[in-house]
Structure 1
Amino acid sequence: MTGRFKRLAEHARPQITIKIDGQHVEVLQGDTLMVAILSHTNSLRESEFDKGSRAGFCLMGACQDCWIWTTDGERLRACSTIVREGLSIITRSPEAAWNLV
Structure 2
Amino acid sequence: MNDDIKQACEVMQRGGIILYPTDTIWGIGCDATNAEAVQRVYKIKQRADSKALIVLTDSEAKVEYYVSEVPETAWQLLDVAVKPLTLIYPGARNLATNLLADDGS
Structure with the greater relative contact order (CA < 8 A, sep ≥ 6): 1 or 2?
1
Please tell me whether Structure 1 or Structure 2 has the larger radius of gyration of its CA atoms: 2
TM-score normalised per structure 2: 0.27
TM-score (norm 1): 0.28
The structure with more helix, counted as a fraction of residues: 2
Higher share of residues assigned strand? 1
